[in-house]
Structure 1
Amino acid sequence: MSRSFGTRRLSAGLAVLALAFTTAGAATAAQAAPYAPAGSTTAAAEPGPLMNYAVNTKASYPHVKRVEQAVKAAGGTVVQSYAQIGVVIAQSTNPDFRTDVRVGRNGREVQSVGATRTAAVSEGPVGSAAGVKLTSAKGLMAGEAAPVADPREAEQWDMKQIKADLAHNVTDGSRRVLVGINDSGVDDTHPDLAPNFDASDSVNCINNGVPDTTAGAWRPTTSSHGTHVAGTVAAARNGVGIVGVAPGVRIASVKVVNDDGFIYPEYAICGWIWAAQHHMDVTNHSYYIDPWEFWCKDSGDQGAVQESVRRAVEFATKKGVLSVAAAGNSNYDLANKTTDNGSPDDSTPAPRQLDNSCLDMPTELPGVITVASTTQAKARSSFSNFGLNKIDVAAPGSGILSTLPGGGYGTMSGTSMASPHVTGVAALMKSTHPWWTPRDLEKALRKEADDTACPTTPDARCTGTTANNAFYGEGIADALDAVTRH
């Protein structure tokens, strides 16, 4: 599977409500001295590589505070605490941190703990002066009158396939609706994106998952991926270039991809909590979370991290955020997992056996809309992952024209390009039905999708029926039905 889904990743009484992002005092560089947990007779361990961990506990301020104390006693630094979901992101050079954090009364509050990556932290210690570059993603890349076409709209076959061009006769979307582009950064100076860009709700999450709201920190440098995704969702109807699926809604950049193209769990969790606290309606996730293509529930670190990310998605969903994600570009049957030869991708990959409890995150998590890719001929894109009852809907993803940094335009292919079409459709739905919950949007996306049969040339991998099959799920997304059938 390719790395990113481009063409180939107060008072205690108010704490639960107010603690969106909590840092434990002034963060300091991780200690360099040997560690032993407080009160322990265990021999001190020599420092190891600087690592980040997800530590899970009960979702309440008192439980999280005790775990924070356990982290410090184990020679760690608290990076971020999320009392809402009972997750603490910690950092340590203690090689025995997983064991030591469970020692003592406070340690008994720890439900599970897991390293978020297999390579040492590249950002440097929390609180250090180490610079964090902006990102580059790996991979392949309503009104009554009829809308006036933008100059390159005729080239957008993808908008016709999902009937967005017809939906625009009904609505271009509402300014009340805010969509998060959780990706490698968005060029808000692009003339097709600037009219719809919301800088006040944008953030950079790639410094160990600590939110950075410095002006422009959420922009890309070398990556065009997030800007391309943003254009598909909401390029403005302004007489310039192209038009997005929902050209009347607002977009915010939530940067979760670092300069090496990695999306580590702490980045992704930061993105979901930010989206929830900033009242986003829909978020697009055209990536999988590193370093494991599939995170296995019964595999120590992976199981703990899987639970942390699941909680973040669940929290965002309860706060009204619908998450839409790319299915992946490995031409892999998500319903019948067997092996993984490319993980971990941040150190040394090794072949391993899988079962269906191993999840491609975020696309396989509960409450996330999984999107497969189609070609202009409505065939499944050859790279697109598939799987019966795994794919929710399909959308165009091969050769998609959209915005590029610096005011440009270009084509990219991948389920990364398919997902923002569905995100745009969901934004149009939310515009016409502002009272709908994420569950309502999810049901409608499936219901209004156009049933698409398996190929006429038999393909044993396309199991299921015309109404719901492994290649297209419930069918190809339909923007027109999304705004007219309710």
Structure 2
Amino acid sequence: MKKTLFGIFLAVILSLSTLIVSANNEEYNKISLDIDRNSKGYLDVLVYLNENIHLSGDIAIRDSEPENLGTDYVNELRRAANSNQERCIKLLKDNLETGKVKEYSPFFITNAIHVKADIDIINELSKLPEVSKIYKNDNVEMELSSISSLSTPSGETGWNHHEMKIDRVKHDLGIDGSGITIGFIDSGVDWTHPAIKNKWRGYNIETGEVNPEDSWLDLVGDSKLPTDEYSHGTAIVSIAVAGSGENSPLVGVAPGAKWIAARAFADKNTTNANIIKAAEWMLAPGGDPNKAPDIINNSWGGESSANPWFKDIVVAWKSVGILPVFAAGNSVDSVAKPGSIENPASLLNTLSVGAIDDDLKLAKFSKRGPSAFDSSEKIIKPELVAPGNNIRAAIINNGYAKMYGTSIATPHISGLAALMKQHNPNASPMKIEKAMIASAVPLTDGEYPESPNMGYGYGLPDAYKAVNLIKENDSYIRISGKNRFETAIELSKKYYPEGANTVFITAGHAYTDALVMSPLSNKYDGPVLLSEKDNLSEEVLSEIKRLSPDNIFIIGGENTIGQRVIDILSEEMSINAERIYGKNRYITSVNIADKVYEHNKFSEVFIVNGYKEIDAISISGIAKQKNIPVILTDGKSLDSDIKSTLMKYGVSNAVIIGGESTIEIGLADELKSMDISTERIGGSDRFQTSLLINQKYIDTSKNPFIANGINAVDALTAGPIAGKIKSPMILIKKDEIPEGVREYMSGLGAGKITILGGINSIMDETVFELINW
């Protein structure tokens, strides 16, 4: 007995030891290996937290008015960051006085904190569960492009403008970038240079007054006005926006555009933290998101690593409609090697630019793909090339020079984006990227004999073609409104242009009841509109009047849609709406089946977990198409009313939607005990389940619907329409394409893809990646 007790005691001690070692290893592994754990001084680090605050902000901003999107997005990021970082900030604040913490700066554009503290504090931070990784605050380099002296240019455009057809855009279309602002993160800008002085947004040409607050940030010194000691930033700005006229013999790509700048580089060096500060300022210059630029030029980069430190920043910029452009990087001492493209240009959600010589051959210094982030080595990097050798530019002290580098190529693309944005102010970053790529002239050589390739990308953009393409229809359409209610209205307008005999109304914020209504919409064809609990908006009411229905069904009880909504319909349209509901979501699904089949037999049902709504959304279109009821359960057992319904209608087959963690084996056994055969469609997650559903029930399709699988309210209202036109509903993430989706899409017929929701549901670059697979 003593031996047994001792053995148990020893086993417990060993188990606890294992747990302690495991926990210590986890904390140790959170700290990047390049951080000196034996340091006696302050460590300079970036502390990253687990939660993706960009995703947590989706619901809060999806109902924003377009003009308020930037402000609402920044406010939501601030709120989410403050909440996520609370314990970290308290730990740091409490140790400021002890001297263990020198300083710290929290960010909201990415869920991270810049910290200078001793190793004890770094270790304490690593123990917090919300901390995911602690990286060294690395150096970032800006290649100072080679300069050769040059007499003042004549005002004529150079080979770069002619090859890109930029001069034709200005001459034939009268487009020069007017009304557009480009932001530059660089070495600063000599704002007094006559080529670019009048283009600074902070300078009032008429009065001579300056207002630098929302147009200049100095992270290197304390200069109140834009300044530059190294010419790099001045040159980059001039290539993009230098103005024509007697005060400027140099002509930029978009001479009508304005510039703002953040000086982040001292000499050619800075740190990740400094860049993040500059990037965050660009999102809300001077604290005002309405002052954010349309395009941000980034003629800098770091090592060719797979550190995702800048990914969230690109997501933030693009979420509010800002297009970032990055230099691929220069190999100074030798010919650039494959896989050398610098970070963040190597990120798969960025637009990156290589450089060509005046003979249209790839400059030997121009760094190449594939990206360190792409294990498949199939994603093209860089995407584009632009003139990057023997390019006229302004330099400090009112001088001019000829320069080279991918840094010099990048502002050509930023300037072109300004021309395109002027032609179509509503063009999204993804649409601009796609039009540039579609316009590109393919380039090849002996090393890269086929196009696209990892040197030239898709080629050299034709500015004239790109500007015209930005207005043309695309291979996809995006159906969205300023909120979920108006997205449902837009779907109704598109697919029921002549009106409808029936309209379904369900709750916009508690939509579980609507998940099972697809077979009902098959019997009574009509769109789904969303309602507030106790009110119909003027927009929804106006759409109902346009549709002029004979029947209106309210799906759900008074806890989700109040009597007031029915009264409004009666008063405004003299229609007595019929409510279909049950004492709970399970009985609602039974009552809808009763309404559809009116006690006639049906042999098959879909069984779905009523608390994991996304599976019901995935099957809704198929349920309408096949006229099969959707029955909700708790995933564990069958409600007695559901059993009675299945027996009453003579159901002989049940298709279980979801894996065993969603619908347990015991529930399937219950069905079998009722002599109901079962089959299961369930993947490893909601995305895989959705794919399996489509593969089983959709033979061929040319027009798939793409919806956000996390916040899927747009898919809810589109489900019956997908069933009506026999299109698959494909679920993806806002900024990621789940495994298997690309392959499934490649097997579909050619046609137009329908994206459900705005860029805060599915980002443009996600769509771009999907349609270019």
Give the TM-score normalised by structure 2: 0.45
Residue matched to 1:242: 250
Tell me, in whole angstroms, the C-alpha distance in 1 between the residues paired with 2:365 and 2:392. 18
Per-residue Cα deviation, 1:338-392 (whole angstroms, up to 9, x for no partner): xxxxxxxxxxxxxxxxxxxxx7222112322111111111111111112361110
Aligned pair partner of 1:386 in 333, 355, 368: 368
Which residue of 181, 184, 208 maps to 1:181? 184
Q: Larger relative contact order (C-alpha < 8 A, sep ≥ 6)?
A: 1
Structure 2 distance, partners of 1:136, 1:387, is: 19
Match of 1:281 among 294, 299, 313: 294
Residue 236 of structure 2 corresponds to which residue in structure 1?
Answer: 229
In 2 relative to 1, CA 158–333 (structure 1 residues): closer, same or farther, beyond 3 Å?
same
- Tell whether 2:228 aligns with 1:220: yes
Code of the aligned partner of 2:257? V
3-state SS in 2 of match to 1:307? coil
Aligned in 2, Cα 1:268/1:176: closer, same or farther, shift over 3 Å? same
| Residue pair 1:394, 1:475 contacting (<8 A) in 2 also | yes
TM-superposed CA distance for 1:267, in Å, is: 1.7
- Mapping of 1:3-18 within 5 angstroms? none
Q: CA deviation at 1:151?
A: 5.9
- Return closer, same or farther for 1:387/1:327 CA change in 2, 3 Å cut-off: same
Q: 1:49 to 1:166 in 2, by over 3 A?
A: farther
Q: What is the identity, as a one-letter code, of the residue corresponding to 1:228? A: A
- Distance change >3 Å, CA 140–CA 97, structure 1 → 2: farther
What CA distance in whole angstroms lies between the structure 2 residues aligned with 1:319 and 1:402? Answer: 31
Counterpart residue number, 2:436: 445
SS of 1:481's partner is: helix
Mapped partners of 1:83, 1:198: distance in 2: 25
The answer on 1:91 being equivalent to 2:91 is no
Report if the CA contact (8 A) 1:279-1:319 is conserved: no
- Alignment length, in residue pairs? 367
Q: How many Å separate the matches in 2 of 1:79 and 1:189?
A: 35
Q: Deviations over 1:433-478 (max 9, x none)?
A: 10011111111111111222x12xx32xx26x23x12221111022
Whichever residue aligns with residue 286 of structure 1, its letter is S
Shift of 1:155: 5.6
Three-state SS of the structure 1 residue aligned to 2:419 is helix
CA contact (8 A) 2:385 2:456 kept: yes
* Partner in structure 1 of residue 390 of structure 2: 399
Conserved in 2, the CA contact under 8 Å of 1:54 and 1:88? yes
The 1:319–1:77 alpha-carbon spacing in structure 2 relative to 1, beyond 3 Å, is farther
Instruction: Identify the residue that residue 92 of structure 2 maps to in structure 1.
Output: 71
Amino acid at match of 1:332: A
- TM-score normalised per structure 1: 0.70
Correspondence for 1:314: 315
Question: Which whole-Å CA distance do the structure 2 matches of 1:180 and 1:445 have between them?
Answer: 20
SS in structure 1 of the partner of residue 273 of structure 2: helix
Q: Give me the whole-angstrom Cα distance separating, in 1, the residues matched to 2:338 and 2:352.
A: 11
Q: For residues 439 and 112 of structure 1, do their structure 2 counterparts lie closer, same or farther at Cα, with a shift above 3 Å needed?
A: same
8 Å CA contact 1:102, 1:110 repeated in 2: yes
Any idea what SS the aligned residue of 1:263 has? strand
Report Cα offsets for 1:276-335 as digits up to 9, x if no partner: 22421111111113xxx2234xxxxxxxxx333221221112122111111111243444
Distance 1:174 1:55, change over 3 A: same
Inter-CA distance 307–385: structure 2 relative to 1 (3 Å threshold): closer
Counterpart contact for 1:394–1:418, Cα < 8 Å: yes
Residues in 1 aligned to 2:347 and 2:139: alpha-carbon distance in whole angstroms: 22
Letter in 1 for 2:161: M
Contact 2:157 2:251 in 1 (8 A): no
- Counterpart pick for 2:411 among 414, 417, 420: 420
> Structure 2 CA distance, aligned partners of 1:333 and 1:374?
16
Residue 108 of structure 1: aligned partner: 129
Question: In the alignment, which residue of structure 2 is the partner of 1:255?
Answer: 263
Aligned-residue offset at 1:156: 1.4
CA positional deviation for 1:167:
1.1
* Matching of residue 171 in structure 1 with residue 171 in structure 2: no
2:48 aligns with one of 33, 51, 56: 56
**Matches of 1:118 and 1:137 in 2, distance apart?**
13
Number of the residue aligned with 1:478: 462
Equivalent residue number for residue 271 of structure 2: 264
Residue 88 (structure 1) shift: 1.2
Post-superposition offset of 1:97: 4.1
Q: Distance in 1 between matches of 2:317 and 2:83?
A: 22
Q: Which amino acid aligns with 1:82?
A: F
Partner of residue 12, structure 1? none
Contact 1:393 1:475 in 2 (8 A): yes
Higher Cα radius of gyration: 2
Contact 2:381 2:455 in 1 (8 A): no
Alpha-carbon contact 1:202-1:213 (below 8 Å) kept: no
| Contact persistence 2:438–2:466 (CA under 8 A) | no
CA contact (8 A) 1:219 1:253 kept: no
Q: Give, in whole Å, the separation in 2 of the partners of 1:203 and 1:91.
A: 26
How many Å separate the matches in 2 of 1:384 and 1:47? 38
Cα pair 2:145 2:407 within 8 Å, conserved? no
Question: CA-atom RMSD, angstroms?
Answer: 2.6
Amino acid at match of 2:186: D
- Aligned counterparts of 1:470 and 1:476: Cα–Cα separation in 2: 13
The answer as to whether partners of 1:332 and 1:386 remain within 8 angstroms in 2 is: yes
Gaps of 5+ in 1: 1-44, 120-134, 142-149, 297-305, 338-358
2:139 touches 2:269 (CA, 8 Å); kept in 1? no
Range 359-368 or range 264-273, more displaced? 359-368
**Identity fraction in percent:** 24
Letter in 2 for 1:378: L
User: Which whole-Å CA distance do the structure 1 matches of 2:327 and 2:257 have between them?
Assistant: 21
Q: Note the residue ranges of structure 2 that are not aligned, 5 or more in a row.
A: 1-36, 54-79, 203-211, 285-290, 371-379, 472-773
Alignment partner of 1:140 is 2:134: no
Q: For the residues of structure 1 that align with 2:297 and 2:201, how far apart are their CA atoms?
A: 16
Aligned with 1:409: secondary structure? strand
Aligned equivalents of 2:364, 2:38: Cα separation in 1: 49
SS in 1 for 2:275: helix
Structure number having the greater helix percentage: 2
Q: 1:109 to 1:470 in 2, by over 3 A?
A: closer
Pair 1:373–1:84, CA change in 2 (3 A): closer
